Each structure stands twice: as structure tokens, then as C-alpha cells.
A and B are shown apart, each in its own frame.
Chain A
């Protein structure tokens, strides 16, 4: 099965912020924080289309996201801060208390439901 090795960046977006203010149960928040952004080429390599489910894994954990196209280098994927992103980030020693939130090695593959 096609997999893409990439670097994961997590971060803020306006929608995630609006969703925060709205309440974390809002549809807006859940949709936004359940998405992963990838370049068109990366998605093509995966064989995934806009809106498909994909599985993202890092050394810290695994979670499922809906993928969408974005202007990104092929080797970078972006996920807004949220509960799903939290499964992929982790505590790392030697960082004076700062967890690994950005620049984490990850693997992405299509979620074929199996």
C-alpha cells in the first residue's frame, strides 16, 4: 500500500480558533481539527482524493484524518491543533519541557477501513 513519509507540522488556523471560541463540540472545530493538509502530489502518491480518510502515524501515536489539498512542499503535512493532533505529538526529553509539536517524522497512508 502506498505510504508517504513526511514531516508533520501542527499549528493554529482561523477556523480552529473560531471553533475554540465556539466550543470544542462544534462541527466547525471537529472538522477543522480532524483534517490533514497535504500537497496535491503527495495525495496523488497516496492515491487519496480530497475528502478521503487517511491514517497518520508518528513515533508517538496514530490517528485518522480527512485529507485536503494545500500549497505545501510534498514532504510536509499540516494538521491544526486539536485532540486528533495530540495523538501524534509527544513528550520528548532534552527540550526543556517543550513537547514535539512541529517537525516530527510521520507516515501517511490511506485508510481503507481494514
Chain B
């Protein structure tokens, strides 16, 4: 039994905006305060309540990150490429807490620890390849402190594309249910749909209506079909899309067309910043945010996460293999490319963002513009596409930039001058409130993921609570919570993890569909290098899990 006393609670999902309230938790859940601490009924008769004095402090639900690269083959490649960097950030074991290494792509125990030490308790792995999903699960199992899930890559999958080409939506839905169920995936992820297929011959594509080698369809067809199937299946989370043309100077145009293609149906555009560039007079590479913000502001079916760039080292890792190869050409440094039979491709390139370069500064400014021009905080989420734009440990810094206009401007003025002049940032006076921060880092992502027990502090929610000491330096405030509670137990004190615990895996409650074995097995045998019987992961490997209801 836990009792958080006297804090200013920011629980936007339940309309609580800074009221001083007590929060009660028992059995790992938020419970009704009218029960006296230690009352039975929750089976803990006689148990003394732990009391947290939160007077003068800010209380929020545990943070929810709906897009971060934390586990799996790509992430492990990122670790492999950075031994010299790891050396500079060793993390000793501490009591029973396992040690490891930090820096931009930390080892598993450190990922969990550092997320918790910012007050986060739920993270969704952004991109898992089905054939290696087992690897993703094994790494997630070794990330402490967090409840997790994985979004499953489908946008260049041979069977997905073939079924779209054939026009068989029902069978496509059957296959997607099979894919999610056999790999423990949470939702549909698509990355540069169709582009990965063209990468086989080291090509790409430039727009929604471009040709895809070997299939008589276009990216437009893929995205439309995936959204359609998502609606049929009513999965908890919408299609989660890394748009075509990422990183290109004309990407905003492609992104706008992609949003239009959703046509009122739910769609989530990820790391929008990397897809929000457009030409301006005299500048071929500049911000293309305004039309995108206008569209999102007037179309409530669309949500975005920002993918804010953070100056300093980063490791890019995406399923956008052709784009990743172009980064190699820029950096002339390390590059790993992997092609996974019949399914997907990925690339990993370490790099660094500099505020002194026009491009680096512009990218930073674009991210900020997105945050400040999008009006509905419920449909915009704080991410750095970690570690692509920068490490997740930079979130407190981003929060400060959003809440403190003077700091933001002071920072902006240290950027490349040309980039700053081309940006409208200095005209944007908005400062995020604590309530809005609670929305974009907790309540909004949880709702968008369909996680009804996360991101809020209503009765029945998971008892994941973060308690922050207010400070005029919002970065310091959010970087060092006084307490973090996970499932009703205090796991962080004064910004330091004190107890290791392990969370659970989210799985969607998949509807019953026709069995795909009879038509898939022979094709699988022809095309894959593993036996069909070894492709699905035993369900018990996902335990402990929570099955999340569909919409």
C-alpha cells in the first residue's frame, strides 16, 4: 500500500491540472483514496502504507514513450559500433542493480535504469523484424523497470505486398494477425514502404506513386491497405508510419500526401521532424512544417511524434536502408546494412548533430517548430526517435526548451545563423505548461497506444507514478525525479534507481481469423531459410504479458 501525499497532481486524462491531491496505490494499481491505508479487501490487511511526502512537488503518471529503439538486432548493432563511446560511460553495478555501459546506445540494464531515472515506466520498441522478433523479446526481457512492447515491421514484407497486390484484404488481415500473434508484436509498423524492396537492387523510391520492383502496387496502396486492415482488426494502436522520402529536402510534401491518404482514418506519423523539410526561397533545405501543422491541426485522425534532434552524438538506426546508406555517404564512417529475407531491411550509421552546420541547426529548429505549431497536445508526443535524433536521456532537455522560452531562444541564438534566420522559431512564444508536458510525455502516448491503465492516475490505472521537485530549470527537474514508483513500489529515489524490477510485455487482443497455415506453409518453405514450425515464438516466452483490448 502506497500513499503519495499532498503533491500537485497533473493527470490530464482525468481532468486534474495541478490540484493538490493524495494518490493511493495497492496491489500495483491506483486505488480509491476513501479506503483507509492497510484496509483489507485488497488482501494486504495489516500492511503498513508507505507514505511519500509529495508536498510542494509535481506528481504525474509514469512516462510513456511510444517510439524508441531499445531492443533487438539493430540496437545491438548500434552497441557494437560504439565500443570507444561505451568506454566513456561505464555504469557500475549498484547493490542488486546490474551494471553495464551507457552513452547513446546503452546496454539493456542501463536503458531500463535511465528511463526509470527520468520517471518513465513504459516504452514501445519502435521497429522489430518478424524473423528476429525472438531476439527483440530477449533483449526486452533484460531491460528492467519498464513495461514494453514492440511494433512489427510490415511495410516491405513480401506476403503483405503480394496480398495487397492481389487485392485480398481478408487474407491480408489473416496474415497480419498471424504475424503479430506468432511474433508477439503489438502493432503495425511500416518504414519507407516499398523502398526497402527497391533497395535490393540498391534503389529506392521518391514518392507515394512510385513503382515497387516486382509488385504492381505503390507505397500509396501499401499504406492505404495497412490502415484499412488496422481498422478491420481494430488494433489498439493505429498504423505507425515512417514516411517515404525521409530526410529529403522535399519530404514535407510526401508527408502531407501521406496524411491526406489516411482520409479520416487513424494514422500515426513517426519522427515527423525527419520528414518535414521543404524548399524555401533561396534555401533548398528548410522547414516545411507549417502546412503539416495546419493539416494536423485540422485533422484529428492524425497523430505525430516529433523525433527532436539533440546536438551531439547519435546513432541512426532504421528500416530505411537506402536512407541509411546515404548517411554513410555523408559521414564516410561506420555503416551496417542488413537485409532480412522476405521481410525487411535496416541500416545503422553513427553520426553527430552540430548546431554550427546549416542542416543540423535546421533539423533542430524544425523539431521545435513542430512542437510549437501543433495545437493539440494529445496528438503530438515527445520523442527523439532515440537514438536516431539523440539519446532518450535528452528528454528533460527538450522539456526545458518547450517550457522555457527564454532558454529556448538563448539556445537558438547559438545555432547556425542562416538556419535561425530561415526559421520562424523566434516568433513562436508558446511555452508548454506542466499539463501539456504531462500530455505529450504520458497521457497522450498511452491513449494513442490504447493502454488504458497507463499515462494517468485514475482508479484502476497501473501505479506508475513520478514525483518531481519543481525547479526553474525544467531540465534538472525532469532529469532527477524525487521518487518514481513502478507497480506501486518505489524504484527510484532522488534520481537514482534503488530497486530493480522487471515489467511485462504488451500484446494486442487479436481477433480470431482464418488460419493461414494451409496457404502460407508451402510458400514459406519455398522462400524462407528456416522451418515454418520454428517461426512462431512459443506464447510462454512473452510472459509476463498483458493483453490489451482492441478498440
- A–B in direct contact per CB < 8 Å: no
Q: Could you list which residues of chain A lie within 8 angstroms of chain B, going by C-beta atoms?
A: none
